Amino acid sequence: MTVGKIFGWLLLLLCSVMQRWCINGYAQNVPERVALDPPNRAEAATNGAIENSSAPATHPGFFRRFFKAYADDWKSAASSDTSAPKFRGTPSPVDGPPFPFSDWPYGGSVVIGKPWTQSSPFMEALWSGPHGEGWKDSGVQIYGWLNVGANVSTSDKPGYSNLPAAYAEKPDTIQPDQEVLYVERQPDTVQTDHFDWGFRVASLYGLDYRFTTAKGVFSEQLLKHNREYGYDPVMVYADLYFPHVAEGMDVRIGRYISLPDIEAQLAPNNYTYSHSLTYTYDCYTQSGINTTTRISDHWQFQAGMSAGCEAVPWTRPDAKPTFNTCLAYSWQEGGDNLYLCANSINDGKYAYNNLAAYYLTWYHKIDARWHAATESWYQYERDTPNVRNPAATPLLETNANGAVCATATQLICFAPEWSVVNYVEREFSKHDYLTIRNEYFDDMRGQRTGFKTRYTEHLIGWGHWVGMTVLFRPELRCERSYDVPAYDNGTKRNQLMLAGDVIYFF
């Protein structure tokens, strides 16, 4: 049994024991609080106000308060308080939870006009302690989660043979995917009176660092030593909020999640455990400055500059001046949203993930229970080394694929790809939802996946919350590569995978 399997089983056992102990020890009927709103690129739950009672004169120990927060969550009764927090603009189109967001997601900013209503067990323990008022006044929150995933796959070769599927890339294993800690303050963008500020420092450890690593930031773990597990400070940024620019402008400076995409790196930001191919092979994080300006209830504009995808400014020659500009239009009271984004405008010349990338995303609320999300992108790299020509081998970078060019005599060539993915979501309750995902991906020169082929991928998944602090996401996924075998280390065209994960919030 591997270290990863032992760690995974111990964590699942701990979760089970803790849940039973807390419920038995603190079973009681209490008013339902606003649950943990899973952190994502657009946190803005609007389904209730945080209820924080005044701290008593004497305080139980920290861990007693901490475990009580879980017990209250798992055994809570329906709330009699139906009031919603103040917000600007249209109501949030979907419920989050059970979904990973309430407002259609976009990166590079908080959701302007919506409050931050998060309440985690760790913060509830702090707020109900002797210095609780100080923590509330500061606006700083500390929270995170433990995330373990498992899969059974028709691929069975050693290593990461489920690839191009991700993040469940190791077949027939239990893996500690990402253990995450946030320290964060969000600016108040509901008010329009004064300047406000915020920040986020997000630390990730686990198998998933293999995808989030940016060259120049602890990247030797992957690029030099190829360690299976590693650490990545996946987000480190400051937010500056200017309420008098149009209807509010947020300026984000630092390392942040790239702007477009239905999905995101951090586990709670996604409908499902595994990622679509569309998401897996595009831009992950950028380091620079981005502005997000709310123009009206219908229009939002973004513009910024970074060092490119997965590169920081001091990494030469991989860092390239890269511009972005995005425009979003909403209608039907926010139920529909079109998001057009030129996420990476640069020379597109081959380097460490130096993508030029252009996106279009459509979010559509069908009714109170159903919604859909569709994303398509086109991206490319120029002057990509030809893997068919041995003379091009010295031009290749570690962890940056070359291209399968048209002829073996070419030294370099143009390497484009395009993709489209569709999600259909059904909410059954505040604790349960269904996901159906279908996609088509054309890696026209094999630069993204390592195989020059077309792919289709189909998934059905379930999300189930225990209270609002534990999330289970089982799924069944099947996929095919049409032109060459791409799965099981390039030996199979088809792959079927049963997978799932658990996210334990604190």
Of the listed ranges 46-55, 272-281, 477-486, the one predicted with least confidence: 46-55
Position 40 pLDDT exceeds 50: no
Domains of the chain and CATH, by start: 3-79+92-505 (2.40.160.10)
| Cα–Cα nearest to 140, from 123, 152, 157 | 123
What contacts 467, CB < 8 A, 6 or more positions away? 35, 70, 73, 74, 76
C-alpha span between 506 and 11 (Å, rounded):
14
Tokens of 158: 């050693």
Q: What is the mean pLDDT of residues 336-347?
A: 97
C-alpha span between 271 and 427 (Å, rounded):
12
Residue 178: pLDDT band (50, 70, 90) is: very high
Q: What is the mean pLDDT of residues 402-415?
A: 97
pTM: 0.87
| Cα–Cα nearest to 257, from 413, 40, 462 | 40
Residue 46: pLDDT band (50, 70, 90) is: very low
What pLDDT score does 60 carry? 86
Q: What is the mean pLDDT of residues 456-471?
A: 97
Dihedrals phi, psi of 11, to nearest 5 degrees: -65, -45
What contacts 493, CB < 8 A, 6 or more positions away? 480, 481, 482, 484, 485, 486, 487
Q: What is the pLDDT of residues 220-239, one digit of tens each?
A: 999 999 999 999 999 999 99
Position 21 pLDDT exceeds 70: no
Q: What is the mean pLDDT of residues 65-77?
A: 88
What pLDDT score does 197 carry? 98
Percentage of the chain surpassing pLDDT 70? 87
Residue 309: pLDDT band (50, 70, 90) is: very high
What pLDDT score does 82 carry? 56
Q: What is the pLDDT of residues 357-396, one digit of tens each?
A: 999 999 999 999 999 999 999 999 999 999 999 999 999 9
Position 83 pLDDT exceeds 90: no
Q: What is the pLDDT of residues 422-447, one digit of tens each?
A: 999 999 999 999 999 999 999 999 99
Residue with tokens 């996420």: 343
What pLDDT score does 22 carry? 35
Peptide bond into 97 cis (omega under 30): yes
What pLDDT score does 316 carry? 86
Exposure string (b/e) for 47-72, b if CB count within 10 Å is 16 or more? bbbbebeeeeeeeeeeeebbbbbbbb
Q: What is the mean pLDDT of residues 123-150?
A: 96
For residue 367, count other CB atoms closer than 10 A to its CB: 7
Exposure string (b/e) for 433-462, b if CB count within 10 Å is 16 or more? bbbebbbbbbbbbbbbbbbbbbbebebebb
